[in-house]
Amino acid sequence: MKEKYIEKLNGLWHKKMSRREFIKKTVSAGITAGASIYLLDVATRYNAYAAIGEKRGMHEALFYEKMGDGSVRCLLCPNECMLSNGARGFCRVREPVNGKLYTLVYELICSAHIDPIEKKPLFHVLPGSKSFSIATAGCNSRCKFCQNWTISQRSPEETVNQVLTNNNLTVTAK
């Protein structure tokens, strides 16, 4: 029984293969590996939301007005986006649901760093001290030479986010 099984395995491993079969199997393996990496990336992105609750970042936004037809006008920036249910603003982080505007990045940060104060516009205030910087996905500008374009030009689903509540923020900053 054992010899039969080993013989069968040897037949699979030591089977002669033409160049065409080899290329076909190699390309198939490459496509499978590439698809697996892509699917893992997509699953990881959306898994961040699943792990913390799908609606975790949603919080009713400030600075908007309701229009009569169920749409809203966002007043946060000069773009003043007119949005209907399910549409996203220019910034990619505000979305109306049933006539209310919600921010999708409330307490969801995608970047946190401690930087020297000299890097900031406040370089002349307390030289040698540190500043705590946090960021969320999205931006209402499209600056040509933005140093943060990898997060500012993305939606919350396209960034790796972590929850940082208001209470934890003050503790973390200290």
At 75, is the pLDDT very low, low, confident or very high (cuts 50, 70, 90)? very high
pLDDT averaged over the chain?
Answer: 80
Q: What percent of the chain has pLDDT over 70?
A: 82
- What CA–CA distance (Å, rounded) separates 89 from 78? 12
pLDDT over 60 at 49, yes or no: no
At 74, is the pLDDT very low, low, confident or very high (cuts 50, 70, 90)? very high
Bridge partners, residue 116, by sequence: 130
- What CA–CA distance (Å, rounded) separates 36 from 28? 12
DSSP E strand boundaries for 23-154: 59-60, 64-66, 72-74, 82-83, 94-97, 100-103, 108-109, 111-116, 130-135
DSSP E strand boundaries for 38-144: 59-60, 64-66, 72-74, 82-83, 94-97, 100-103, 108-109, 111-116, 130-135
Q: Is 154 helix (H, G, I), strand (E, B) or coil?
A: coil
Return the domain boundaries, the chain: 2-52, 59-103, 108-173
| Residue listed under structure tokens 């996905």 | 137
> Which tokens sit at 4?
């039969």
- What CA–CA distance (Å, rounded) separates 27 from 66? 54
Average pLDDT estimate for 110-120: 83
